[in-house]
Chain A
Amino acid sequence: MFTFGCAKMKNETEESKIRRIPAIKQGIAIDHIPFGNAMKVLDILNIHQDKDSIITVGINLNSSKMGKKDVVKIENKTIKKQELEKISLVAPNATISFISNYKVNDKMIIKIPEFIDDTIKCTNYNCITNHQPVKTKFYKIENKKEIKFKCHYCEKNTSLEEIELK
């Protein structure tokens, strides 16, 4: 089941009174997703094949931290490590809360891991990973200006903006 919440600009007092995304009893909430990337997060979680989870999405919500953000809440859902890794690439620094009985049991910031295994395609056409059954491996290279990923095999770099998920 899907419910959507889409925000319009209102004054701050009215905005703070409106609960755009209802609380959930059991499941996960992913907050501080960059505006427009909620659907990418849902693609990663493969929700169109998931008949057991109830999904609530907020798009273009106001955020004091980011200006604008998306939010996704999924009831009755556990999340796998590889899904978290993929989400970190489309929503770096998003927060994930694990909810039980309407309470947040645990909360963490989704960080891009230092090493990414079999998650990203190499953008170098001549890389062996694009021609033979070899799982990709990438190392994160981060400086103040940008985040890049170095292919373990062909040693070429791919920027965060260029990456293609497998």
Chain B
Amino acid sequence: MTKFKGKSVISINDFSRNDIIKILETAKKIENKKYKNLLRGKILATLFFEPSTRTRLSFESAMERLGGRVIGFSDASTTSAKKGETLHDTIKMVEKYSDIIVIRHNLDGAARVASESTKKPVINAGDGANQHPTQTLLDLYTIKKTQGKISNLKIAIVGDLKYGRTAHSLATALSLFDCELYFISPAELCMPKEIIDCLNERKIKHQEFEDIEKVIPLVDILYMTRIQRERFVDQNEYEKVKNAYVLTKEMLTGAKNNLKILHPLPRVNEIDSNVDETNHAYYFEQAANGIPIRQAVLCLLLGALK
């Protein structure tokens, strides 16, 4: 198993199944034991070059609840990046002021560049359309909590599978647990070939659909994602697909009793608010799971827990 202290969390592809299990178990330990001052004296730098609500606040809350402190920015226009400073140079400066760095950036691969620019641990909070590993970890933690296991489940991932980094990371991670996957998207937004190739190599059963209603009765988890306006270069293309999937309470009539509906949030219109009152809705509880997961990652990387 990986020794986590001093390492970075950049891509879910860097993790083995045992690494993921270790992080989930650590999160459960933290949630049960309510540690207070494990990270006292440590400073987290949050560098958000792209907008964020949940992820940024969740990292900041995770750090502060463990006794640590937070510095950083949530708007790159107020930083030297606007003057043309390279990411490498920004990280070389920030590493002097902090013990651990969290970064969200619009360019694919930015988090990897950041991790190579410093010896301090770096956590990827989302790099372009590439990876968002802590979102995947909290998604897996949520699945484990609601279903009692991760292995051998039937899981549907819906919406923007082409640009959705959470969809990419989750599909890749679930392939380590022998799940059967259902991908539901408009044809223009189907899962990229790299992900499909990875699933084929690992001999993971998967199917692609455009019709969500055929799949709902079959699955244990329905993972909804937003069609992301900000990823489209051509806004006309976005307008064609933005309302492709709207989940309503009526569509859940034939669903399994144990079905849980997840969403990385923010939702726009893909889950109708009348779904919130059903036993299947679990997206807000899912967001709350970000705290123990991010606390687990912070503690493991800083060596506060092993």
Interface, chain A (partner B; CB < 8 A): 124, 126-129, 131-134, 151-157
Contact = CB atoms under 8 A, between A and B. Distances in A.
Contacts of A131: 107
B194 A132 contact: no
Given A126-B108, A132-B88, A134-B88, A153 B194 contact: no
Contacts of A127: 107-109
User: Which one of A127, A131, A153, A156 has the highest number of Cβ atoms from chain B below 10 Å of its Cβ?
Assistant: A153
Given A126-B129, A134-B113, A154 B86 contact: no
B87 A132 contact: yes
A154 B168 CA distance: 13
A105 B186 CA distance: 60
A153 B128 CA distance: 11
B55 interface: no
Contact of B13 (A153, A155, A157): A155
B116 to A, nearest CB: 9
Interface of B: 11, 13, 86-88, 105-110, 112-113, 127-131, 193-194, 197
For the complex of A and B, the 4 pairs showing the least CB-CB separation, nearest first, are A153-B109, A154-B108, A154-B109, A128-B107
A151 B86 contact: no
B135 to A, nearest CB: 16
Q: Dominant SS at the B interface? A: mixed
Nearest to A153: B109
A151 B13 CA distance: 13
Given A127-B107, A131-B107, A151-B109, 16 more contacts: A126-B107, A126-B129, A129-B109, A132-B86, A132-B87, A134-B109, A134-B113, A152-B109, A153-B113, A154-B109, A154-B128, A155-B108, A155-B130, A155-B194, A157-B193, A157-B194
B168 to A, nearest CB: 9
Q: Dominant SS at the A interface? A: loop
A157 B196 CA distance: 12
A155 B131 contact: yes
Contacts of B105: 128
Nearest to A150: B194
18 contacts: A124-B108, A126-B128, A128-B105, A128-B107, A129-B109, A132-B87, A133-B86, A134-B109, A134-B113, A153-B110, A153-B112, A153-B113, A154-B108, A154-B109, A155-B11, A155-B13, A155-B130, A157-B197
A134 B113 CA distance: 8
Contacts of B13: 155
Nearest to B201: A143
Contacts of B193: 157
A129 B87 CA distance: 11
A157 B88 CA distance: 24
B117 to A, nearest CB: 10
User: Which one of B11, B107, B197 has the highest number of Cβ atoms from chain A below 10 Å of its Cβ?
Assistant: B107
Contacts of B88: 132-134
A148 to B, nearest CB: 9
Given A126-B129, A134-B88, A156 B108 contact: yes
